[in-house]
Structure 1
Amino acid sequence: MPFDPSKIRARLASEKKPYSIRNLAGGEADVMLYGEIGWLGTTADEFVADIKALSASQINLHLSSPGGSVFDGIAIMNALRAHPAPVTVYVDSLAASIASVIAMAGDRIVARQGAEFMIHEAAGLSVGNADEMREMAELLDRQSDKIAGIYAARAGGSVEDWRAAMKRETWFSAQEAVDAGLADEVDQPTRESERAPGELAVAASWDLSVFRYAGREQAPAPEPVALERESHTLHGDIRTLIGEEVATQLAAAVAPPAEPVVETTPVEPEPEPPATEPEAEEPAAVDEWAAMTAHLTQDEPDAWSVLVSTLTTTASSSAATEA
């Protein structure tokens, strides 16, 4: 934020805190956090001490701030998260810079009609040599990664996705913040909600020229951030609101169809027939008559043939011996 000596003088001259906490009936508490975050506005040490001492069953944080100190803002966010009571954040007018990180402390985040969100990379001043400048650049990169991780944890997407949106200095209208996952709903105006943010006019007094764009009207439309939301899952808070039975029915309705299971009845194999021993072949019947008459059919040897056969066999044996 630009340097404004008048704010320093006003802060030193007044002991009034730049935020207020008011206890309501039924255990609720309204916390009004307007103005800069840090030593020109709400500091973490005062705010965190008061939040820790707050005994409430529900905290309603009304937020409208152009941002300020990264370290104070993160400490404020963590103090709200650590409180045992549920926290509903109402962005009454502007949640810019580190104030958009404080908004992420809400269990429920409501963007009022006409409200705006702005995210950008961490910035700072440094005086010194080249090593000191590099140290500052590394510090700013670490803080920007940390902030991008907070957005990603709330809205989905990756640190790289949100760093890219932060580099562009992205402004969101109330509905655009809901679409991006930075808020849960846009508040429908009622008589009560119209009266609640009595200090909304303070936003007109902020000098937004320190930013690249002086509000959503001067900024281009936000580019979609690649979201990695869980599908086919109902969160616990939704189940509480609609009931376990209805939640189970909704989960079944949105879940992808399961693979059909075909039930089959096992078919018992047919029993194999018992093995039978091969029948032994009956020996051929002996023709007794043929056996008795066989000698009658054989020719008697010719005497000349017997003599020649004997001579041939003897000659062949002698030749084989000589060979």
Structure 2
Amino acid sequence: MITLPSTLPRIVARQRAQADKLRAQHGIDPQPWYRITNQADPDEAEVMLYDDIGGWYGATADQFIADLRGITAPNLRVRINSPGGSVFEGIAIANALRSHPANVTIQVDGIAASIASLIAMAGDRIEMAPNTMMMIHDASGLCMGNASDMEEMAELLDLISDNIADAYSARAGGTREDWRERMRAETWYLPKDAVDAGLADEATQAPKTGTPAAAPAEDDPEPDMHRPYDLAAYGYAGPQQAAAALTEDIRSLVGDEVAAALRAQVAEPVPAPAEGTVPAEPTPVVAEHQPAEAAPDEWAAAVAHLMRSAPSPWAALTAHLTKTPTSSSAATDA
């Protein structure tokens, strides 16, 4: 098969026939690649191009253009998220948008790449939504044949790329060769870059953020989330009670006498008396709680014999091996 201008109509016809056949086999909506809807505002209609342009599943321009004629709203918003596709189908769509009487606003929702970027050039106004991209590159195609066929295909692809470059030049200024240079490099544009290059009119603002909550009035009670956690339900009444409880726990572990001795160690030193004065008698340290005489623990007495360590017969047999000799002898090497 040779891809030449004279064979292009037959190629497009075969693609459309194949598209119809595949749609019937797979039960696919005959318009899976675009959607036209009326917005809440009766003065604006919306077209969504969210698929490849051209291809085996019938993304062709004829039905799109027929539906486009039925739009009578004065404003038309075309939302694009497409990687591109067939050059000639894209050119037909772009020209249909240019000739439509409505004021056409192109809104890039995701990506407008390859021939989809040329469709974007058909808008009266082009907007790049946040984080979107636009990509331009040279046309590509397939060819089967001899060397002469390949040369003719190369000439055709250069002619198609020049034609696309003219569309960018008409929109953004510059020469055909300027845009061909960018197309050969496969240039990608972020929203601001597209605006700076003249390929878009506006990079729209970032997505809306949530409305901050109003600050509580001064006389309002403190919000529950900001209050310290209340531990009263667990018997906690503050650091003073915790310190007292800790003191009681230590006293129960070490005894009143040891606790009093420790308290004396950390007590502030008493300054030495001045000369000629009689030192005051030291105040005896009296334990705060006199230990009551402990009642005999019958249970401890009953199980005391269970806690005694039984002699180990192995330890008895090996005791002579672990005794330290009383005299030393010289070591010998084996």
TM-score under structure 1 length normalisation: 0.55
> Could you say which residue in structure 1 is the equivalent of 2:47?
31
- Please tell me whether the aligned partners of residues 88 and 110 of structure 1 are also in contact (alpha carbons under 8 angstroms): yes
TM-score under structure 2 length normalisation: 0.53
* Deviation (angstroms), 1:45: 1.0
> Could you say which residue in structure 2 is the equivalent of 1:87?
104
Q: Distance in 2 between matches of 1:144 and 1:72?
A: 15
Task: Tell me if 1:186 matches 2:207.
Answer: no
> Could you say which residue in structure 2 is the equivalent of 1:228?
none
Q: Which has the larger radius of gyration?
A: 1
Task: Tell me if 1:159 matches 2:173.
Answer: no
Q: Secondary structure at the match of 1:29?
A: strand
* Deviation (angstroms), 1:187: 1.1
Once the two structures are superposed, the pairs formed by residues 42-53 of structure 1 within 5 Å of their partners are 42-53=59-70
Aligned residues: 186
* Deviation (angstroms), 1:138: 1.1
Task: Tell me if 1:102 matches 2:119.
Answer: yes
Task: Tell me if 1:14 matches 2:28.
Answer: yes
| Paired amino acid for 1:56 | A
Once the two structures are superposed, the pairs formed by residues 140-151 of structure 1 within 5 Å of their partners are 140-151=157-168
| Paired amino acid for 1:112 | A
Task: Tell me if 1:115 matches 2:129.
Answer: no
* Deviation (angstroms), 1:52: 1.8
| Paired amino acid for 1:79 | A
* Greater relative CO, 1 or 2 (CA 8 Å, sep 6+): 1
- Please tell me whether the aligned partners of residues 111 and 133 of structure 2 are also in contact (alpha carbons under 8 angstroms): yes
- Structure 1 residue ranges, 4+ long, deviating more than 6 angstroms after superposition: none
| Paired amino acid for 1:167 | R
> Could you say which residue in structure 1 is the equivalent of 2:82?
65
Q: Distance in 2 between matches of 1:114 and 1:16?
A: 31
Q: Secondary structure at the match of 1:26?
A: coil
Q: Secondary structure at the match of 2:189?
A: strand
Q: Distance in 1 between matches of 2:23 and 2:128?
A: 30
* Deviation (angstroms), 1:42: 2.5
* Deviation (angstroms), 1:29: 0.3
Q: Distance in 1 between matches of 2:61 and 2:155?
A: 24
Once the two structures are superposed, the pairs formed by residues 247-262 of structure 1 within 5 Å of their partners are none
Gaps of 5+ in 1: 1-7, 193-323
Once the two structures are superposed, the pairs formed by residues 158-177 of structure 1 within 5 Å of their partners are 158-177=175-194
CA shift in 2, pair 1:122/1:78, >3 Å: same
CA shift in 2, pair 1:191/1:22, >3 Å: farther
Q: Deviations over 1:126-185 (max 9, x none)?
A: 001122111211111111000000000000100000000000000111111111010000
Q: Distance in 2 between matches of 1:94 and 1:42?
A: 17
Q: Distance in 2 between matches of 1:41 and 1:168?
A: 30
| Paired amino acid for 1:19 | Y
Once the two structures are superposed, the pairs formed by residues 263-302 of structure 1 within 5 Å of their partners are none
- Please tell me whether the aligned partners of residues 23 and 29 of structure 2 are also in contact (alpha carbons under 8 angstroms): no
**More displaced 10-residue stretch of structure 1: 66-75 or 38-47:** 38-47
Task: Tell me if 1:129 matches 2:146.
Answer: yes
* Deviation (angstroms), 1:10: 6.9
Q: Distance in 2 between matches of 1:56 and 1:107?
A: 15
